[in-house]
Structure 1
Amino acid sequence: MQLGFFISGGAGQMMQNRLDSISNNLANASTVGYMEDRTAFSSMFSSKMGREGIPDNTSAAHLSMNTQYTSIEPGSIRSTGGEFDFAIHGKAFFRVQMQNGTEALTRAGNFQIDAEGNLKTQNGHPVLDNNGSAIQLPRGEVSATKNGTIFVNGDPVTELGLSMLVDPRKIQKSEGVLIHTPKENVAPADNSVSVHHHSLEESNVNSVLTMTEMIATTREYESMMKTLENYNQQASLLNDRVGLVQG
């Protein structure tokens, strides 16, 4: 009985966590550079689920607690015509500076420029060049090449800082479109990466598939809750009947 409570209750909690993740993905389906959160499950097998002292050779399985990870698969690139819009083709990220001086990575290239000419993200974080310095642009017409070099009025000014991940599993998301990772997990972008000016990368969330996943997960969650309710009813009946003297 206790085992049934544990398995159904744990599975229900995992389904709830998965629903929260799916809901957040759907809410950010139109967010530039958003990378969807995914949930992984694994099965645990046991051959010791019989009564104590009675061998049980039949293996039983149940889901272990879920883990979440961020998918870095690229989204589609669309042309915007925006002067400070950039998109990356390839598995690289823009380098940005956080308030505490550390670096973060992002695929969201919908940058803006302040009164002093500083290139910043939508949340106000400075965009860094390939040397790790904040990018500051003079006034003028901005253009860029595929290697990330930015020109102003036809003159080269700076080069966008682009980095790749050594191990995509060692990342942590923050502020929706930023990710953090240890310095040793970051490497310079290689020749497979190119920059598209006047373009932005869409979210990598597939709305249709995600909606389908939400419906299926909701049904699984409801099923687990019904199972848990049945175990609860059985436990109540057991408590009422144990020790009852039949006259």
Structure 2
Amino acid sequence: MQRGFFVSGVASTMAENRLDNITHNLANVNSTGYKASRSSFKTVLADSHLAGNQKQTSSASYLSMGSQYIDTSAGSIRQTGNALDFAIVADGYFQVQQANGNIALTRAGNFSRDGEGNLITQSGFPVLDDGGSPITLPDGEVSGTNDGMIYVNNQPVVQLGLVTLINKNDIQQAAGTLITTPESNTESAVGTVVVEHGALESSNVNAVLAMTEMVATLRAYESTMKVVEQYNQLASQLNSDVGKIQG
């Protein structure tokens, strides 16, 4: 019975975590450059032992929560025609500076200029150039080339800071569409990735698939909670019976 309680508890926790992921993903289905969060699972062997030093008598395997990871697959690219919109084709990330001074990465290229001409993200974080410095643009007509060079009035002004990941698994999701990773896990991608000017990358969340997963997960969660309730009733009955016998 203890194993039943344990396995049911693990299953309900897994379902709750998966629901959290799906809900978060659905909330960002329209967020430019957003990368979906996923849950992985692992098989764990649960052993049952006799008392003392006697040999193992049985074992059972069950699923357990493994880890959460970020799906780095590319979203679709849509044309906007906006002068400060940029989309990276295939692998690569823009570099931005967070409020604490640390560098974060993003695929969301829907930038804007503040009152001082600084190129910033939708959250107000400075966008960095290929030397790691915040980008400031002079007044004028902005254009760009497919290597990430920004022009103003047809004159080259600055190169967007572009990097790729060495290990795609060594990343963490930060606020909004940002991800973080050790600096040692990035390398310059200037000249190796294509940047489309006047375009944006959509979220890689498939809303229909996410809704289907949510329905299936909710049903699994409800089934698990029914099993837990049955175990609770059985345990309560056993305790009552033991009390009657002892009485």
> Does TM, scored on the shorter chain, surpass 0.5?
yes
Cα shift at 1:66: 3.7
Cα shift at 1:49: 2.0
Instruction: Kindly provide the amino acid, as one letter, of the partner of residue 88 in structure 2.
Output: I
Task: Show CA shifts across 1:126-162 (max 9, x none).
Answer: 0000011111111111111100011111100000000
Which residue is equivalent to 1:8?
8
Distance 1:115 1:176 in 2: 23
Tell me whether 3-12 or 144-153 shows the greater mean CA deviation: 3-12
| Contact 1:98 1:104 (C-alpha < 8 Å) held by counterparts | yes
Which residue is equivalent to 1:18?
18
Which residue is equivalent to 2:85?
85
Cα shift at 1:2: 1.8
Q: How many residues end up aligned between the 2 structures? A: 246
Which residue is equivalent to 1:139?
139
Cα shift at 1:56: 5.5
Question: TM-score, with normalisation over the residues of structure 1?
Answer: 0.94
Which residue is equivalent to 1:64?
64
Cα shift at 1:9: 1.1
Task: Show CA shifts across 1:43-89 (max 9, x none).
Answer: 1123x325446756554111223421111111000000111000000
| Contact 1:73 1:204 (C-alpha < 8 Å) held by counterparts | yes
Distance 2:171 2:217 in 1: 26
Task: Show CA shifts across 1:3-62 (max 9, x none).
Answer: 21111012101101110110110111011011100001111123x325446756554111
Question: TM-score, with normalisation over the residues of structure 2?
Answer: 0.94
| Contact 2:50 2:57 (C-alpha < 8 Å) held by counterparts | no
Distance 2:234 2:176 in 1: 44
3-state SS of 2:224 partner: helix
Report whether the alignment pairs 1:103 with 2:100.
no
Unaligned runs of 5+ in 1: none
Q: Give runs of aligned pairs for residues 23-34 of structure 1, distance below 5 A.
A: 23-34=23-34
Identical-residue share of aligned pairs (%): 52
Which residue is equivalent to 1:212?
212
Cα shift at 1:245: 3.9
CA RMSD of aligned residues (A): 1.8
Distance 1:245 1:73 in 2: 62
Instruction: Kindly provide the amino acid, as one letter, of the partner of residue 239 in structure 1.
Output: N
Distance 1:176 1:51 in 2: 51
Distance 1:65 1:175 in 2: 23
| Contact 2:161 2:190 (C-alpha < 8 Å) held by counterparts | no
Between Structure 1 and Structure 2, the one with more strand by share is 2
